[in-house]
Structure formats: structure tokens, C-alpha cells
């Protein structure tokens, strides 16, 4: 392989480490399970590296709309009428400053678990790509993790209008 060649491995953590095979349509996380950031182990990264990959593209890492109840952590449940399935689409971003709580073993420490994944990935001499689509937000967008003095997307929008100039 050419040292300058880019080889990207796209990985959806929600599926990658999930050993639950029930696959119930419209099932809950308790029924269908979810992979976790911690499932992407050194051994898993070694296997990816053996494919001559030099970038790992983590899809669905950013917090997105879902029907999983994390209200105990201050995260509201989204409206079922606008969420794709129960787990939601990784492109309906709920909070650009947070990571998907479904992917954490300990929801309170989800960002630390994600940061550890990035460190493990870099330790294997792999670069990280985060699937970031800036114009795809959930209808319920609200940041629970944004920096001080940052205003939420759409906070000043006139919601009485469908479009405005």
C-alpha cells in the first residue's frame, strides 16, 4: 500500500459491538441492545489496522434524536412523530457538543468514554473522522453540553414562519 493512500473504515458503533441479535422492529435499546464506545477495543482496532486502514470514520457518535429515555441525566426524550425508529437517525443531530448516550456504558461519563476511544484509535496510529453534517439537526435540537455564551441553533428563529428571508 502506498503510504499516501487514504483507506477509510466506516464504523457505526451502535452496531459494531452489539452482540444482541433479537432485532425486534421498533424495539427498545433494552430489547435490541446497542454497541458501545468501549466495545471498540485495542484488539478490534488491531483487526481494522490489518486491513491497511489509516482512518476510522465513526458514524453516529454525535448525540442525535432518539426515543431512549435519558431524562434522569437531563436529556429529554424526543417526539416519536419525528424520530426515525426508536434509536433514531445519526443524521438528526440533537446536540453537536455531546455524544450519543446510547453508546456509553456509563451515561454520565459518555464523553470520557468517547475521548478514550479516540485515544485508543490514535494509539494504533489511526486517524479519526467524526461524521459531522452541519445542516442536519433534529427538530428538537437543544444542547445540554454547549460552551457558555453559545446560543442553540434556531434559538432566535421565528417558528411562526416556514421560510423567511
- pLDDT of 137 higher than 80: no
- Span between the terminal Cα atoms of the chain, in Å: 51
- pLDDT of 50 higher than 90: yes
The number of residues making up the chain comes to 165
Q: What is the pLDDT of residues 63-93, one digit of tens each?
A: 999 999 999 999 999 999 989 999 999 988 9
If you average pLDDT over residues 102-120, what whole number do you get? 98
pTM: 0.86
Identify the band that residue 141 occupies on the pLDDT scale cut at 50, 70 and 90.
Answer: confident
Identify the band that residue 159 occupies on the pLDDT scale cut at 50, 70 and 90.
Answer: confident
Identify the band that residue 2 occupies on the pLDDT scale cut at 50, 70 and 90.
Answer: low
Identify the band that residue 157 occupies on the pLDDT scale cut at 50, 70 and 90.
Answer: confident
* Chain centre to alpha carbon of residue 1: 31
Domains recognised in the chain with CATH numbers? 8-130 (3.30.750)
φ, ψ for residue 137, nearest 5 deg: -125, 155
Q: What is the b/e burial string over 65-96, where b = at least 16 CB atoms within 10 angstroms of the residue's CB?
A: bbbbebeeeebeebeeeebeebbbebbbbbbb
Among 86, 102, 73, CA closest to 28 = 86
Distance CA 124, CA 47 (A): 11
Amino acid at each position: 500500500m502506498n503510504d499516501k493512500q487514504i483507506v477509510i473504515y466506516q464504523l457505526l458503533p451502535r452496531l459494531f459491538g452489539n452482540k444482541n441479535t433479537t432485532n425486534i422492529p421498533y424495539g427498545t435499546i433494552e430489547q435490541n441492545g446497542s454497541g458501545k464506545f468501549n466495545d471498540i477495543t485495542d484488539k478490534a482496532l488491531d483487526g481494522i489496522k490489518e486491513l491497511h486502514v489509516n482512518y476510522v470514520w465513526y458514524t453516529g457518535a454525535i448525540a442525535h434524536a432518539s426515543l431512549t429515555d435519558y431524562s434522569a441525566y437531563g436529556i429529554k426524550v424526543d417526539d416519536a412523530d419525528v424520530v426515525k425508529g426508536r434509536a433514531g437517525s445519526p443524521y438528526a443531530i440533537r446536540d453537536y457538543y455531546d455524544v450519543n448516550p446510547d453508546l456509553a456504558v456509563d451515561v454520565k461519563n459518555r464523553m470520557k468514554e468517547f475521548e478514550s476511544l479516540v485515544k485508543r484509535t490514535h494509539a494504533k496510529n489511526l486517524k479519526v473522522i467524526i461524521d459531522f453534517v452541519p445542516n442536519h439537526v433534529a427538530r428538537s435540537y437543544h444542547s445540554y453540553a454547549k460552551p457558555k455564551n453559545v446560543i442553540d441553533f434556531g434559538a432566535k428563529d421565528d417558528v411562526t414562519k416556514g421560510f423567511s428571508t
